[in-house]
Amino acid sequence: MGLQGPLCTQYLWERLGAGNGSAARQGGGCANGSGSAKQEEELETLVAHWNLYLNLAGFLVGLFSVTLLGPWSDSAGRRPALVLASLGMALQAAIFLAVMSLRLPVAWLLLGRILSGLSGDYNLILAASFAYAADVSDRRGRTFRVAILEACLGLAGMGASLLGGQWRHAQGYAAPFWLALSASLAAALYAAVCLRESVAPRRPARLLTLRHYASVLHLYAPGARGWEWRKLLLYSLAFFLVVSVHFGASDLLVLYELSTPLCWGSQLIGYGSAAHYLAYLSSLLGLRLLQTCLEDGWVAEAGLLSNVLGLGTIALASTTPLMFTGYGLLFLSMTVTPVIRSKLSRLVDEKEQGALFAAVACVEGLCSLVATGVFNSLYPASLSFMKGFPFLFGAVILLVPAAIIGWIEIQDSKPDYSHFADMPGPLQEAEQ
């Protein structure tokens, strides 16, 4: 995924720029001479819209498949879900590779996203992996286990970004996508052959049944859980807002860097993506250190502060040093999602982890849907008055989850005397 995202945006920039006569230079950067500012703005709008179409195609389909396959893994096991999702990712990489190698119409990229979405896409890999981590960890150490998984994403993304920019500059687009195809197939083989199953005992389970969707909906039914149910809803809302901002900002970063005033080439874009992914590793270290003196909720608050400062700086970045300063301020930004995932996991039964993380993946799919719609529409609309406005908008939105998490932490830290309020007082006893 780390290889495919930035390279796909750069490919659309070059391919669509060549198709409509815009002066998009190979390797990125800003056009000179005949490339007018108006042409560049039109190209930015076109690429942003194609990014929107691709994300919509994959995640609209994945929204339904993940909520089917995630609860199914509670009975059938995590391994089948991981194998299926990895094979879908491999098929997507193969179609992308065919489009780039054979110069097929870019609309064929939509087919790859749809087929990957049918098999659960990247969200099912996340859902099954996080459910696996919950299966094999206790409640006390779960937050750090989940953070390790998030850090693995960052490590892979950082390596892919450094490799992808240099590799694409040297050999074009095809070679990195061959690696993406091979990595997906290797993941499927590993899950099928080497990975130990965490669901025991496994039970036969029908795949095509509405019962799987019902198990996801049951998690959010009020029932008799009271405060726990309210926390589930509030944490889900906070997660939705945080991930929406993360997806929306990430979608725009490459396009933001390609165009005026930064005018980055493919190598600088690779370094920028690596700096962005480095936040996963720095957040893991920061989480471990902060957990020694703070509750998980306050660690998440520190991560949200890091997010707000970083996005605010990127919104104002007009030079390369300032852009990298913004990336540096994001050093704790990825502490938020592992804390929320862990807290959500503790609110449900151990046998509902697959359904829970399928619901979380469903929320992530909705995040992508909303983020691509809002941010990829907001970016072209704001070019005339402030190019970095979508990042500033995201920073303001993050104040809402900060308020939610802080309020829950304050409520949970209060001594629970509510049971005394239900007891009759001396006067009430005398009246009775």
| Domain CATH for 407 | 1.20.1250.20
- CA dist list (Å): 72 to 80, 347, 365: 10, 20, 18
Asked if the structure places residue 27 within a domain, the reply is no
- pLDDT at residue 30 in the model: 62
- pLDDT at residue 58 in the model: 83
Asked if the structure places residue 431 within a domain, the reply is no
- pLDDT at residue 330 in the model: 96
Closest among 97, 90, 92 to 11, alpha carbons compared: 97
Asked if the structure places residue 346 within a domain, the reply is yes
Q: Give residue 306's identity as a one-letter amino acid code.
A: S
Give the torsion sign (CA, 173, 282, 129, 212): negative
Asked if the structure places residue 422 within a domain, the reply is no
Asked if residue 141 lies in contact with residue 157, where contact means CB atoms within 8 angstroms, the answer is: no
- pLDDT at residue 431 in the model: 46
Asked if the structure places residue 189 within a domain, the reply is yes
**Per-residue model confidence as pLDDT tens digits over 197-215:** 988 776 666 777 777 788 8
Query: How far is Cα of residue 55 from the mean position of the Cα atoms in its chain?
Result: 12
- pLDDT at residue 21 in the model: 55
Closest among 348, 259, 339, 352 to 300, alpha carbons compared: 339
Contacts of 344 (CB under 8 A, 6+ apart): 232, 235, 236, 239, 356, 360
Asked if the structure places residue 206 within a domain, the reply is no
Asked if the structure places residue 283 within a domain, the reply is yes
Asked if the structure places residue 126 within a domain, the reply is yes
Whole-model pTM? Answer: 0.78
- pLDDT at residue 16 in the model: 87
Q: Work out the number of other CB atoms within 10 angstroms of the CB of residue 263.
A: 16
Which domain does 376 fall in, by range?
A: 4-22+39-198+225-413
Q: Cα(346)–Cα(118) distance, rounded to whole angstroms?
A: 29
Q: Which residues of 417-431 are buried (b: 16+ CB within 10 A; e: fewer)?
A: eeeeeeeeeeeeeee
Stretches where the chain sits below pLDDT 50 are: 34-35, 417-423, 425-432
Asked if residue 195 lies in contact with residue 37, where contact means CB atoms within 8 angstroms, the answer is: no
Q: Cα(176)–Cα(260) distance, rounded to whole angstroms?
A: 27
Q: Cα(159)–Cα(311) distance, rounded to whole angstroms?
A: 23
Scanning 77-210, the segments in alpha helix (DSSP H) are 78-102, 108-118, 121-135, 142-171, 174-193
Number of domains in the chain: 1
Q: Give residue 117's identity as a one-letter amino acid code.
A: G
- pLDDT at residue 188 in the model: 96
- pLDDT at residue 132 in the model: 93
Asked if residue 215 lies in contact with residue 313, where contact means CB atoms within 8 angstroms, the answer is: no
Q: Cα(192)–Cα(267) distance, rounded to whole angstroms?
A: 36
Q: Cα(414)–Cα(199) distance, rounded to whole angstroms?
A: 37
- pLDDT at residue 428 in the model: 47
- pLDDT at residue 36 in the model: 64
